[in-house]
A and B are shown apart, each in its own frame.
Chain A
Amino acid sequence: MHKLLAVNPGQKMLLLGNEAIARGAIEAGVAVATTYPGTPSSEISLNFFQISQEGNLYFEYSTNEKVALEVAAAAANSGVRSMCVMKHVGMNVAADALMTLAYLGVKGGLVILTADDPFMFSSQNEQDNRYYSKLAGLPMLEPSSAQEAKDMVAFAFDLSEKLQQPVIFRTTTRINHSTEVVVLGDMQTPITKGDFTKDPFNYVTVPAVSRNLHIKLLEKLKTAETISETSEYNFITGDGAWGIVCNGVSYNYISDAVKDLNIADKVKIFRVGFSHPMPRVLIIDFLKGCEKVLVVEEGEPFMEETIKAFAQEVGLTLPINGKGNNLFSRLYEYNPALVRQCLAAYFDVTYKPVAGVNLSDVPEIPQRPPSLCAGCSHRATFYAVNKATEGMETICPTDIGCYTLGFMPPLSTGDFLICMGASVGTSCGFSKVTDKKVISFIGDSTFFHTGIPGLINAVFNNHNFTLVILDNGITAMTGHQPHPGVDMKALNMEGYAHVSIEKIVRAVGVPHVSIIRPYRVKKSIESIKEALNFKGVSVVISKEECTLFAKALKKPRGRSFFVSEKCKNHRDCINELACPAFVIEDNQVKIDPVLCSGCTVCAQICPEHAILPLKDDA
């Protein structure tokens, strides 16, 4: 049995924040869960995926976040408790559905989880998704710990049903990826079947209907505010005159800092967990009891601006600050020492930071950036593209996935990246206004996610570029989740169909389509050259299984290779492929036989044919 299905209320379990959230949803009787995988939310859906194979939960990896939200929205509007999980930028994809779903509302509980990523540990931006609650007019909850996250998910479902509105559940990486001892709660039995009652004048958002629905939305928001005023998740501790308002992980840093600075008797802390709508009356009351107030929140001044507005409305003139004035930054994530320092500075408390060690005489340490795995098929494809485009002036829009790492030297095959699917759309623009050859890259999962509309656009508007679809048969970057192009039967998973990338590409009318096996270097280079020479849209599908996934599946792999005495140290292998299986020992290139996956690419490009397979498995 999956560990999160243990029926042991009161049992203590060591859980990752994301596991606690999944458990919270199971305790709340979630019956439908949908997602498109994205760090730092991925483990929530991984647990749902595993649980769905043995329980009452329907779970799906949807093609993108918009579809995921639509699936969940329909289930919730049929009265079934549903959850939709995504990383923060996924919310941008889902936003079109979100904004009008807020008008319709829901019948069964719908919790939409957005996992924000301050500092961008694994993201392209650090947008603060709390603004989506304001933009859509939806209630929002923010936990400060794994235990609270678990408990709050159940509250979120209740709240959603009470208000008949989706609830936004906002986490940050440090909530998702922190581990704590969590006390398990009772389990509700999920109701898995629902029903939908026709009610077009409340469900079909033509203008006349939406004008009424917007009124209802504002009424629901008003009710949400009254609940926020009395919610246990908005609480005050202490009764000093120095006010601190904080949310999420900042509450943890503040709690520790107050203790470290020994100022517990001087401060009063307002921890905001139900953060939209903000509890106006509570906040104003709080402000009235303070000499000055510090607002501690990672990201944008979301609470700070609201609190300042509340103060203005009732004529309070006490100092309120958070961002700016040498206090907190809108950048990156906070940490205990930073919060301690700002707290001490703002309230003029004597504080001597711990002196770290002097690092001035520490030699420069070689960087250890993430890189494409040894034997990664993307490396082979990028090498072939580089050979095929030798002497050409190129622009290489790229996309989101492992292959983004190809932008690093020596492969240097990535010039422009904004969001999922944008490799295709931006190729249209670059090829239209420049005279350079545009060759762009998109992964298989990303192609399904948002790449297809761009490709249709390219065909219809007769653009001129080559799109390379890097099809490694899995969503690799986020931990090997399935997508519509995955052969689920081969993974012993029943109940799925298979969608062929090649058939889609041909069906939308791409005039030049070729398929390469990137480990066959010469043939691949020739095929890419042909595609590049074609005037119009050409697509090259580069098919080879993710080597890490093949390893995880314990598939047989090729023999490891070694560098024989024939090596004349040209070093094309290292300088042009940069496979991490290479090591330099005594100024000679060697291959680490444990890392080598036997892809044979280096052996094919060695001018001396010096790289040979090991005779017996080393």
Chain B
Amino acid sequence: MNPTRLIIVAVGGQGNLLVSRVIGESALLADVPVRMSEIHGMAQRGGVVESSIVFGTARSTIISDGEADVLVGFEPSETLRALNKCNSNTVVITNLAPLPPFTVAVGSGIYPDLDVLQSLIRAKTAHLIAFDAEALAIEAGNVLSVNMVLLGALIQTGKIPLSSETVKEAIKTKTKKAFVESNLKAFELGFSAAGQLG
């Protein structure tokens, strides 16, 4: 099985590691070979969390610049920052709800314009699916389920070798009971949003 390489970038606290875990558990359920790596140095202190997930027969757990098949960004400026991981065949999925870093508040940086950001990514990669995942998370009943919304969108693209059923099974067994319902709803909302944006 040829490797499929997925990068997920997020800001600390957005639930990137949980989603990676759900994806890994789904792969285990479906008997799909998977290896993952995460860098979460000081994530709780507002830094960036990056996960790489490699499906297939590769042994490496990390993904070099330009070699991601799919990039999922939980925060638009972080998606843009991770563009170095992409090539012209990469499919990109991004949340459009910004979480400006503190450097913007103190005036040592300018937050990128969201329209410019989208057209840049669109021009350089194979396909961009961009929407407000936070709004859908709120609709699902839990603002913190942005991660599950984006997971739904990711599965909808069919770019990673996991079925919707398997992932939902993993959500049911591997996320906290109190949140299973809203997580599943968030997953569905993300799934159909990606379907509509096509």
A: which residues have CB within 8 A of B? 12-14, 39, 121-122, 144-145, 173-174, 177-181, 249, 251-253, 255-256, 335-338, 353-359, 361-373, 402, 405, 410, 477, 548, 574-575, 578, 580, 582-584
- When the two chains form the complex, which single residue of A368, A372, A373 contacts B78, counting CB atoms closer than 8 Å? A368
A256 to B33, CA, bound (A): 14
Evaluate whether A548 and B44 lie within 8 angstroms (CB atoms) in the complex, with A178-B35, A357-B88, A580-B102 already known: yes
A365 to B66, CA, bound (A): 18
Evaluate whether A369 and B47 lie within 8 angstroms (CB atoms) in the complex, with A336-B64, A357-B88 already known: yes
Q: Which residues of B contact A357 (CB under 8 A)?
A: 66, 83-84, 86-88, 90, 124-125
**B67 close to A367 (CB less than 8 A):** no
A-B contacts besides A14-B25, A144-B59, A356-B84, 19 pairs, CB < 8 Å: A13-B28, A174-B37, A178-B36, A179-B36, A249-B61, A253-B60, A256-B58, A356-B66, A357-B84, A363-B112, A363-B116, A364-B109, A367-B103, A368-B46, A368-B78, A370-B45, A371-B45, A410-B106, A580-B105
Does B176 lie at the interface of the complex (its beta carbon under 8 Å from any beta carbon of A)? no
For chain B, residues 102 to 145, give those with C-beta under 8 angstroms from any C-beta of chain A. 102-112, 116, 120, 124-125
Shortest C-beta distance, B13 to chain A (Å), equals 10
Shortest C-beta distance, B111 to chain A (Å), equals 6
- When the two chains form the complex, which single residue of A174, A181, A368 contacts B103, counting CB atoms closer than 8 Å? A368
Q: Which residues of B contact A356 (CB under 8 A)?
A: 65-66, 84-87
Does B21 lie at the interface of the complex (its beta carbon under 8 Å from any beta carbon of A)? yes
Q: Which residue of A lies closest to B45 (CB)?
A: A370
Q: Which residues of A contact B43 (CB under 8 A)?
A: 370
Q: Which residues of B contact A335 (CB under 8 A)?
A: 60, 62-64
Evaluate whether A181 and B34 lie within 8 angstroms (CB atoms) in the complex, with A357-B86, A578-B106 already known: yes
Shortest C-beta distance, B4 to chain A (Å), equals 14
The 4 closest A-B pairs by CB, nearest first: A366-B109, A356-B66, A337-B64, A370-B42
Q: Which residues of A contact B110 (CB under 8 A)?
A: 363-364, 366
A to B CB contacts below 8 Å, 20 in the list:
A121-B41, A174-B61, A177-B39, A179-B35, A179-B37, A256-B60, A337-B66, A337-B67, A338-B64, A356-B84, A357-B66, A357-B84, A357-B87, A363-B116, A368-B11, A371-B46, A372-B45, A548-B44, A578-B106, A583-B100
**A366 close to B104 (CB less than 8 A):** yes
**B62 close to A365 (CB less than 8 A):** no
A207 to B58, CA, bound (A): 53
Q: Which residue of A lies closest to B113 (CB)?
A: A363
Q: Which residues of A contact B15 (CB under 8 A)?
A: none
Q: Which residue of A lies closest to B143 (CB)?
A: A594
Q: Which residue of B lies closest to A363 (CB)?
A: B112
Q: Which residues of A contact B3 (CB under 8 A)?
A: 256
**B58 close to A174 (CB less than 8 A):** no
- When the two chains form the complex, which single residue of B40, B42, B105 contacts A583, counting CB atoms closer than 8 Å? B105
Q: Which residues of A contact B11 (CB under 8 A)?
A: 368
A12 to B112, CA, bound (A): 44
**A255 close to B66 (CB less than 8 A):** no
Evaluate whether A355 and B87 lie within 8 angstroms (CB atoms) in the complex, with A336-B60, A366-B100 already known: yes
Q: Which residues of A contact B87 (CB under 8 A)?
A: 354-357
- When the two chains form the complex, which single residue of A144, A174, A355, A362 contacts B88, counting CB atoms closer than 8 Å? A355
Q: Which residues of A contact B67 (CB under 8 A)?
A: 336-337, 354
A499 to B89, CA, bound (A): 59
Q: Which residues of A contact B104 (CB under 8 A)?
A: 366, 584
A256 to B64, CA, bound (A): 12
Does B24 lie at the interface of the complex (its beta carbon under 8 Å from any beta carbon of A)? yes
Shortest C-beta distance, B97 to chain A (Å), equals 14
**A584 close to B105 (CB less than 8 A):** yes
**B44 close to A366 (CB less than 8 A):** no
**A362 close to B80 (CB less than 8 A):** yes
- When the two chains form the complex, which single residue of B25, B42, B124 contacts A122, counting CB atoms closer than 8 Å? B42
**A252 close to B61 (CB less than 8 A):** yes
Q: Which residue of A lies closest to B5 (CB)?
A: A336
- When the two chains form the complex, which single residue of B46, B88, B109 contacts A370, counting CB atoms closer than 8 Å? B46
Shortest C-beta distance, B195 to chain A (Å), equals 26
Q: Which residue of B lies closest to A575 (CB)?
A: B106
Does B16 lie at the interface of the complex (its beta carbon under 8 Å from any beta carbon of A)? no
**B60 close to A367 (CB less than 8 A):** no
Shortest C-beta distance, B138 to chain A (Å), equals 13
**B24 close to A14 (CB less than 8 A):** yes
A367 to B108, CA, bound (A): 9
Shortest C-beta distance, B162 to chain A (Å), equals 14
Shortest C-beta distance, B20 to chain A (Å), equals 7
Q: Which residues of A contact B61 (CB under 8 A)?
A: 174, 178-180, 249, 252
A435 to B27, CA, bound (A): 63
**B24 close to A179 (CB less than 8 A):** yes
Q: Which residue of B lies closest to A356 (CB)?
A: B66
Shortest C-beta distance, A466 to chain B (Å), equals 26
Does B181 lie at the interface of the complex (its beta carbon under 8 Å from any beta carbon of A)? no
Q: Which residues of A contact B84 (CB under 8 A)?
A: 356-357, 359
Shortest C-beta distance, A23 to chain B (Å), equals 16
- When the two chains form the complex, which single residue of B27, B37, B46, B88 contacts A177, counting CB atoms closer than 8 Å? B37
Does B77 lie at the interface of the complex (its beta carbon under 8 Å from any beta carbon of A)? yes
**Centre residue among A144, A335, A355 by max chain B CB count within 10 A:** A335
**B111 close to A366 (CB less than 8 A):** yes
Q: Which residue of B lies closest to A333 (CB)?
A: B62
**A371 close to B102 (CB less than 8 A):** yes
A365 to B108, CA, bound (A): 11
A338 to B61, CA, bound (A): 14
**Centre residue among A178, A337, A356, A583 by max chain B CB count within 10 A:** A356
A249 to B37, CA, bound (A): 12
**B62 close to A367 (CB less than 8 A):** no
**A365 close to B112 (CB less than 8 A):** yes
**Centre residue among A180, A249, A251 by max chain B CB count within 10 A:** A180
Q: Which residues of B contact A580 (CB under 8 A)?
A: 46, 102, 105
Q: Which residues of A contact B101 (CB under 8 A)?
A: 366-369
Q: Which residues of A contact B47 (CB under 8 A)?
A: 368-370
A582 to B46, CA, bound (A): 13
Q: Which residues of B contact A177 (CB under 8 A)?
A: 37-40
Q: Which residue of B lies closest to A376 (CB)?
A: B45
- When the two chains form the complex, which single residue of B28, B58, B106 contacts A574, counting CB atoms closer than 8 Å? B106
**A373 close to B106 (CB less than 8 A):** no
Q: Which residues of B contact A13 (CB under 8 A)?
A: 28
Shortest C-beta distance, A603 to chain B (Å), equals 18
Q: Which residues of A contact B83 (CB under 8 A)?
A: 357, 359, 362
**A578 close to B35 (CB less than 8 A):** no
**A256 close to B88 (CB less than 8 A):** no
Shortest C-beta distance, A472 to chain B (Å), equals 13
Q: Which residues of B contact A353 (CB under 8 A)?
A: 66
Evaluate whether A355 and B108 lie within 8 angstroms (CB atoms) in the complex, with A373-B45, A578-B102, A580-B102 already known: no
